[in-house]
Each structure stands twice: as C-alpha cells, then as structure tokens.
Structure 1
Amino acid sequence: MHLARSLSLVFGALVFAAFGATAAQSFTDDMIISGNLEVRGFTQCLADLELSFATVGRIEYTHVEEGDTVAKGDILIELDQSVEQMDVERRRLQWENKSELIAAEVRRDTARIQFEAARDIYQRSGGISLEEVQNREMAYKLSLAELERLHAAEAMEELDYKTAAENIRRRTLYAPAEGIVTALLRQTGESAQANDPVLKLCDLSRIVFVANVPVDIAEVLVSGDSARVRVGSRGVTVDGRVRFVSPVIDPASGLCQVKVDLIDPPANVRPGLSATLVLN
C-alpha cells in the first residue's frame, strides 16, 4: 500500500514537471510570430505625479479639469494670496525707497569736504587746531560706516522682498512637465495642507512601453538597445529604445519587467494602450 502511494506521488511529480516545462515553452512559443519575437504589454506615461503645495492655504482658483492636457509651466491651482500680496508690496516699497541712502551719501560727501578743508588749513597755516581736524576726520569715518550699514540694510530689504515674492510663487501650483490631469484631489474652496497631494498628473514628457517577459528573453535585452513597438489596434509602429531591464525576477511567475522609451510617438499614441514589442 505504502509502495503504491509513493510511486503515485513520484509519477505525479514527474507529470507536473513535464507539464510545467511544456507550458513555459508554449508561453515562449506563443510570442514567436513570423520569425519575430513579439512581447505584449501596454503604454504608460513616464510617471504618475502627485502634486502638492509646500505651504498651507485655501484653494482660490483651479485652472484645470480632469482630462485636461497641460504644458510644462502652466498654472494648475492657486491658493489665496491676498495677505502675501500685501506683504510683497510693502517690502517692495521698503526696498525701492532710497531717501535714507541718498541722505547718508550727502552727509558723507559733506563730512569729507569739511575734513579735507580742515586738514588743509591746519597743514598750511595752523589756523585750526589738531583736535578739530581729528573731530572732522572722525565725523567723516562715521558717515562712511553709516553709509555701509544702510547699503547692508538695503541688501536685506531686497532679500526680504524676494522671499515674500517666493512665498507667492509657492502658493501657485505649476505643471512640472507636459501631462494629463488625471485627478483633482481638492476642490476650489477647500483647504490644502502642506505636502498633501491636491492633483495627479500623468507625465507625458515621455511615453513608455512596459511588459513582463520571461528571463530568457530579458537576458538578450540590454539598456540602450533599439527596438520597435507596435501600438494600439491599428498597429502604429514606433521606434523605441530599451531603458530598463529589471534585475529582479518575480519568483511566482518567473517574469521580469522591461521598459522601452518611445521615440517621437505620434499624437494618437497615449498611455494605457495595448502594445507589442517586436524583436528580430
């Protein structure tokens, strides 16, 4: 009885191994069409970006809707900026006000003239005391120090103005790349928290073909290799270049991921289409 059961288990294991090998071979054979190796996959955008603000605020304007295509640098969402705009204007006026600096320059020039005149009188005729010359020299040097302080203050006012302007910019969400708005996670009037996603953008700066392939096929692919990808039901053929061959193999399926950048795809090639990688 035990011998019969053992033989049955051994036979079953052999059948399973043979079936698995046949299935794997069939999986690869199904990819060979007309002498070419065809790997099925799909297209996707370069990245699915979750965009957020670096600061807290209430959403004042939403300039896009889901499904809109945007260009790099387009304004997507703006937070309320009324307080920040007043701060920018106040700091701009402080920075551009040169009256105190002009007055200090006049005082410097006057102190220099008085010091040089007193020094000349003292050297030529002694009609003025040395102490008076020294006092006027000190007044001139103090005017120079005051002017230097005001120049430093002006530089600080400029930095304050630029900081306030940057705070305005941080309250405006710009598109980091060409893409499609796939989701609005916050609506106009809602509060946005710092670093919490408010919008999802599919980055269209590059379209990528993605597929999971057997190891023996992945081993012949090298990053940088040229490739051809047939996209969609119409079979639009696009040149590509292998960008990534995963070094990690899925232990359950024995497959690894391959990514191919599409070079100058036509406008009708979009993310989410079925596609086929054609290898000689």
Structure 2
Amino acid sequence: MNLRCVSWLRGWPLLVGLAVTGPAHPQSLQPAPGITEAVYDGTLSLPVAGIVSRRPFREGDFVEAGQVLLELDSRLEALECQRRRLILEHRQSEYEALRRLFEQNSISVKKEELDKARADYEVARAEFLMAEEQLNRRRLLAPCVGTVAEILPELGEAVQPHQALVRLVDTRQAWFVANVDPAWSARIQPGQTVTLSLETVPAPIQVTGTVTFLSPVVDPASGLRKVKVLFDNTQARIAPGVAGHLLPAATAQR
C-alpha cells in the first residue's frame, strides 16, 4: 500500500509517498502430473531350466493365489520324489521298530543301533524334502490374486533359469505416482485423502485416493519429492498406465 505523510521543509509542507510492501500471497498449487500403476505388476520366472509341459491358463484369465500358471516337464523329478518317499517310509518303520524294542528294555537292541537307525531316518527325511522341493520348483505358482497379462513361452519350448515366463497384474487397486514440488509436499502427508483427475476415454474422471507414501528425501537433481496415492479400481474403470493429475482441493469437483 502507499502512505502519504507530511514533512516540513523550511516552513513549507512537503508530501512524501512511502511504499509499504504487504505480505506476499502464497503461490497457488498447480495440478501435479503423474502416472497410474497396478498395485501388483510382476514378471515371474522359475529357478530351474526345462521344457514347458503345461499352460493351464490363457492371457486375460483371472487367477487365485497359489494356482499353477505354468509347469515344466517333471517326470524324472516326480519319480525321484516317489523313490525318496519309499526310502523314508522304510527307514521310519525300521527306526520305530527298534525304538519300541529299546523302550521294552530288550537286550537285542543296543543304543548305538537305535541312534544309527534314527540318523538314517533323519537323512532319508531330508533327502525326501529335497526331492520334493526340486519337484515344486518346476511349477510356477501365482503369488497373489491377479490377471494373466502375458505368457511368454509356448508349450514345448525350452526355458532357462530366471527367464521371464508370465506377467501377472492385480488392477483391483492402483497407485498414482507423482513427483511434486515443495509447495505440494508441504500440504500433503501419509493417510490424507486427495483427489485425482485421470485421463480416461472418452473423458477424464475424478477419483479419491489415500496418500500412502511421501518420500523422506528430495531428489537433488529436480528438487521434487515422490508421492504415492492408492485408489480403488475394483470396477476396472482405470487401465493402469494412464496419466493423470493430483488436484489441489480448490480445483476438485465438489
């Protein structure tokens, strides 16, 4: 604002204008751009090599956690597992028979014989568990509920350890990920409900979400902080990957 005051110079009044600067208006927030991501988007593999023998699902199928997505030929591993099971059962019966005799104070069983039988049983049990694990490693299981987005190898195709095999996504919830400037980061915190504008077809839609993460550090190159907002997508209105904006409260639709 401008103030006018009177000063006296040699008996004559003199008007003096003073410029007083008031407090600066805080900079208004602008919508922060970002991208949407599926809450789970994983490319799965197996730790062993082999030939693809079974693909029970097709791309686009919905699967539950624990279902077999892909299986390698496992005939040899299954036979080895069966052999180890028979050995285990035999060692177990031998050990239990000797233990019963020993507990009856039978002089025909020495403690050394019982200890050896127990050791043989424990070794057989460990070898069976190892064979069972080798068999299980030839089956690719879904780690969570989701939709099969891509199956890479064909039936009969040879694959290598840790080769990408199946892409599984869970879009029932989605992330909105943005990098915001200090003006934004000073006004949001984890647990806060915010509004997003997402660029869907035929027109953008607004959804609400919850801030689940605000990076504790600022990127030194850009001066921005990463923020993640979790929102519901059970109706599949949003295809993760579309862009959008984090809206200031004043611009969100009431």
> What TM-score, normalized by structure 1, do the two folds share?
0.65
Question: Which has a greater percent of strand?
Answer: 2
RMSD: 3.1
Number of the residue aligned with 1:209: 176
The answer to whether the aligner puts 1:70 opposite 2:63 as a matched pair is yes
The answer to whether the aligner puts 1:241 opposite 2:235 as a matched pair is no
Match for residue 137 of structure 2 among 157, 170, 174: 170
Superimposed CA distance per residue, residues 24-49 of structure 1 (whole angstroms, 9 cap, x where no aligned partner): x8xx77x4xxxxxx444332113432
Aligned length, in residue pairs: 219
Match for residue 188 of structure 2 among 214, 221, 225: 221
Number of the residue aligned with 2:73: 80
1:265/1:226 CA distance change after superposition, 3 Å: farther
Number of the residue aligned with 2:241: 272
1:176/1:204 CA distance change after superposition, 3 Å: farther
Number of the residue aligned with 2:228: 259
- Which structure 2 segments of 5+ residues have no match? 1-26, 250-254
Match for residue 60 of structure 1 among 31, 53, 57: 53
CA distance in structure 1 between the partners assigned to 2:168 and 2:188 by the alignment: 30
Number of the residue aligned with 2:85: 92
What is the DSSP-based 3-state SS (H/G/I as helix, E as strand, rest coil) of the residue aligned with 1:95? Answer: helix
Kept in 1, the 8 Å contact 2:172–2:234? The answer is no
CA distance in structure 2 between the partners assigned to 1:96 and 1:227 by the alignment: 61
Kept in 2, the 8 Å contact 1:46–1:204? The answer is yes
Question: Which has a greater percent of helix?
Answer: 1
What is the DSSP-based 3-state SS (H/G/I as helix, E as strand, rest coil) of the residue aligned with 1:59? Answer: strand
How far residue 67 of structure 1 moved from its aligned partner, in angstroms, is 3.1
CA distance in structure 2 between the partners assigned to 1:250 and 1:178 by the alignment: 38
What is the DSSP-based 3-state SS (H/G/I as helix, E as strand, rest coil) of the residue aligned with 1:197? Answer: coil
Q: Which structure has the bigger radius of gyration?
A: 1
The code of the aligned residue for 2:211 comes to V
What is the DSSP-based 3-state SS (H/G/I as helix, E as strand, rest coil) of the residue aligned with 1:156? Answer: helix
The code of the aligned residue for 1:197 comes to A
CA distance in structure 1 between the partners assigned to 2:172 and 2:122 by the alignment: 40
Superimposed CA distance per residue, residues 189-239 of structure 1 (whole angstroms, 9 cap, x where no aligned partner): 122211222222234464101234334223322233222334435665543
